[in-house]
Amino acid sequence: MAKKKNKKTKKSFKAPRFSINRKQKILLGVFLFLFAVGLLLAFVSFLFTWESDQSLIGSAVSSQEKPANWLSKFGATVSYFLIYDGFGVAVFSLPFMIALTGLKLFLEIKKISLKNIWFWGIYVMITLSLFFAFFGKTYPILGGVVGFEIKEYLSVYIGDIGLGLLIAFMMIAYLVARLQITPEKISNFFKSKKQAVENDFKKAKEANQKNKDQEVQPSSDKIEKKEKLNEKPDVAAEVKFENDLTSSEDQKKSEEDSSKKEQAKQPQKIVIDSQNEDDDLSLEVETGQEEDDDEIDSKSKKIVENFGEFDPKLDLSKYQFPTIDLLKDYSKGAGITIDQKELEENKNKIVETLKNYKIGIAQIKATVGPTVTLYEIIPEAGIRISKIRNLEDDIALSLSALGIRIIAPIPGRGTIGIEVPNQNPSIVSMRSVAASQKFQKAEMQLPIAFGKNISNETFVADLAKMPHLLMAGATGQGKSVGLNVILTSLLYHKHPAEVKFVLVDPKKVELTLFNKIERHYLAKLPDTDDAIITDNSKVIDTLNSLCIEMDARYDLLKDAMVRNIVEYNAKLKARKLNPENGHRFLPYIVLVVDEFADLIMTAGKDVETPIARLAQLARAIGIHLIIATQRPSVNVITGMIKANFPARIAFRVTSKIDSRTILDAGGADQLIGRGDMLYTQGNDLVRLQCAFVDTPEIDKITEFIGSQKAYPDAYLLPEYTSEDSGTATLENEIDERDKLFDKAAEVIVTAQQGSASLLQRKLKLGYNRAGRLIDQLEAAGIVGQFEGSKARQVHIPDLIALKELLENEKK
């Protein structure tokens, strides 16, 4: 109740608004402009007549004693009070202020700000008056009485030197604040002048050189021409044509140079006349108008010179990357332990087993990795590789070990590999891979340090190149750890402005820790509370929203005439793309889906279609998918999905069929678990030991990031409303309007530009909602119809008219 009352009282005390219509504005504008002209004339003539007119000021004027001022008594009096008794010659700025005010009213020029004109006009008047009073002591008319009095008053307090310094400061302040003259601009100006002079000098030198060359040439030309003239009369015309060209070449060249640029801008027409006289057909070839790239380039260069490159990290410029010591060192510095006895025993067993099958070995070599040791053998000449391949189970039996994998042959090495698990596998800590030079210095867009390969080298791959990743493995074999490794790698390498995660976690517990970095790294749908998606129905909305984001990004790329996100962001940083046209820095978006099988079972096609679309198209615009599943069966990883996920990771799976589904090859069923994995990016299979990162470490990292200054909200994805929830109609139903209708109307009318992207930016809305608002504004008659690439017209001139319209509607 109290609130209601307050509202009412507020309404009743509303101050009346002062507004004049266009006709009154024109009249007032003309009056002010002419008044300013009169004032200027009076001031100018006062400079010559003030002494003779002085005696007449203030006295009653008889008709014989007419003041000499061009504006007579009025001119003499006003000038006397403003110049002599006022601010001196500095008052000349007054007619200009009045004239500009008149012009603004008359022509309705929006660029002119009255506040600025009057503030700076009066500032200049006072500064100049003080300046003239200080330096022109012998001519009181220069500074006027006001200038003189201020000068006297100030010099008592700060002395003449202080006053001189104050005047200098006031002048510099004007130059910097009003005219925006900075030391950089001045030095740039001189630099460009210097460059221009140097260029002129160069050109003159070149021209001189050419002249000299031509002075030598004509004589030989002439001889040639004479000879030609004698030989063939009909060629003479041709020669003469050439001659004309050379003689007037110099003059023409300069003309050509200047006109060349013009020509380049014009669309060029080439008319090819038919050689055959009977055939009067002519072919007109028109070449398209060239882009005025030079102009855009120089403009953006200037902006870059003045403001530097666009820095997307500026909002969180103090952001600190997590330090390596937040990660635990599992190896305790020991690294891999080589058990000579174990190596020898295994070697002997392999040699013996093969001997039993009459396979002789020419050479054997061992490479010890973190979990497995690779024995490379070169069989004796004449032994068929397939024979060794078929002995896989027999060798495993004789070595009495799980997880033996035979690679026959190892691509590019000419050997046959037998991988035998180590008795004491060592853990590859995330710390060791994150600290490795290979990862730290990786020049990749989205580097991921998966772990270590068989030679114990850190294995780093670029997610941007994959461009999507499929991950499978039976329960408890290291999938979740693998996902954490990927996310941690990105957290250690990418600023929050550069990458955003969309996390789907139906298990609800695996990725919860990343909630702490919601406002740094996560992306979510507008109007949702949790960024991490645990509800399967929300996943469909999110995937569709990502499709909308993808389409919007493609539009931006098309508009910027670039092919991928890297080129786009580079162009944006060089300030060649105007944010006013909707251009914005595009962070990478990494979508992580855990338990994909669960999702497919509940949502089926609704999920598969957008996933397949994203997988097919999203690579160029920086959206990358990581999909993990326990059950890599064919109805989960369908052909369509598989075709678009060339990069795959298999942890240990339970059957050969599963291995084939995920890798298109066997082997994953023979892994030993605990992060032992096979990775392929379309061609070779690489056996890796996945790095290990434990929950407390993730906790520490997210805590470290989460405690820093963040963005106000998570990265908002475009809004998606499913089709069955009804599309916008053009009916002007006031009750069904969006809550933000009034606000949106205000934004559009203030900017006088009817575009959905403007609403998106100003009101932080999703694309769909902004589009719906524009439709509603069209239905209400506030904006015009859709006009293709142009912004819609706005039919309401100002906020007052808008208010009237909205109030009338409610009646």
Ligand X SMILES: Nc1ncnc2c1ncn2[C@@H]1O[C@H](COP(=O)(O)OP(=O)(O)OP(=O)(O)O)[C@@H](O)[C@H]1O
First to last CA, the chain: 24
Q: Is 681 exposed, middle or buried (0-12, 13-18, 19+ CB in 10 A)?
A: middle
Q: Which residues of 380-399 are buried (b: 16+ CB within 10 A; e: fewer)?
A: eeebeeeebeebbeebbebb
Residue 507: CB minimum distance to ligand X, A: 7
Rounded Cα–Cα distance for residues 568 and 619 (Å): 14
- Residue number with CB closer to ligand X (127 or 480): 480
Rounded Cα–Cα distance for residues 464 and 625 (Å): 10
- Residue number with CB closer to ligand X (32 or 511): 511
Residue 489: CB minimum distance to ligand X, A: 13
Residue 668: CB minimum distance to ligand X, A: 13
Residues in contact with ligand X by CB under 6 A are: 427, 473, 475-481, 630, 674-675, 690, 692
The amino acid at 656: K
Q: Return the SS3 of 55.
A: helix
Q: Return the SS3 of 376.
A: strand
Residue 328: CB minimum distance to ligand X, A: 12
Q: Which residues of 710-746 are buried (b: 16+ CB within 10 A; e: fewer)?
A: beeebbbbbbbbeeeeeebeeeeeeeebbebbeebbb
Secondary structure string (H, E, C) spanning 450-488: EEEECCCCEEEEECCCCCCEEEECCCCCCHHHHHHHHHH
Which distant-in-sequence residues (6+ apart) come within 8 Å of 422 by Cβ?
339, 342, 368, 369, 370, 371, 372, 373
73 is in an annotated binding site: no
476 is in an annotated binding site: yes
Other residues' Cβ atoms within 10 Å of the Cβ of residue 263: 11
Classify residue 315 by its DSSP letter.
G
Residue 710: CB minimum distance to ligand X, A: 28
Give the angle subtended at the CA of 146 by the CAs of 142 and 152, to the nearest 5°.
95
- Residue number with CB closer to ligand X (322 or 675): 675
Secondary structure string (H, E, C) spanning 641-672: HHHCCCEEEECCCCCHHHHHHHHCCCCHHHCC
- Residue number with CB closer to ligand X (481 or 794): 481
Classify residue 713 by its DSSP letter.
S
> Beta strands 623-629 and 469-472: pairing type?
parallel
- Residue number with CB closer to ligand X (451 or 467): 451
Residue 488: CB minimum distance to ligand X, A: 12
Specify whether the CB–CB gap between 44 and 7 falls below 8 A.
no
- Residue number with CB closer to ligand X (476 or 682): 476
Phi, psi of 338 (to 5 degrees): -100, 120
Residue 688: CB minimum distance to ligand X, A: 9
- Residue number with CB closer to ligand X (619 or 674): 674
Tell me which residue has its CB nearest to ligand X: 675
Specify whether the CB–CB gap between 42 and 78 falls below 8 A.
yes
- Residue number with CB closer to ligand X (77 or 432): 432
- Residue number with CB closer to ligand X (416 or 427): 427
Residue 550: CB minimum distance to ligand X, A: 29
Residue 502: CB minimum distance to ligand X, A: 19
Rounded Cα–Cα distance for residues 594 and 505 (Å): 5
Residue 289: CB minimum distance to ligand X, A: 59
The pair of three-digit structure tokens given for residue 269, joined into one six-digit string? 């027409």
Residue 615: CB minimum distance to ligand X, A: 22
- Residue number with CB closer to ligand X (454 or 565): 454
479 is in an annotated binding site: yes
Which distant-in-sequence residues (6+ apart) come within 8 Å of 676 by Cβ?
371, 372, 403, 421, 477, 478, 651, 652, 687, 689, 690
**To which residue do tokens 């600190």 refer?**
320
- Residue number with CB closer to ligand X (79 or 458): 458
Secondary structure string (H, E, C) spanning 381-404: CCCCHHHHHHCHHHHHHHHCCCCC
480 is in an annotated binding site: yes
Query: Known binding site for ATP: residues?
Result: 473-480
Query: Known binding site: residues?
Result: 473-480
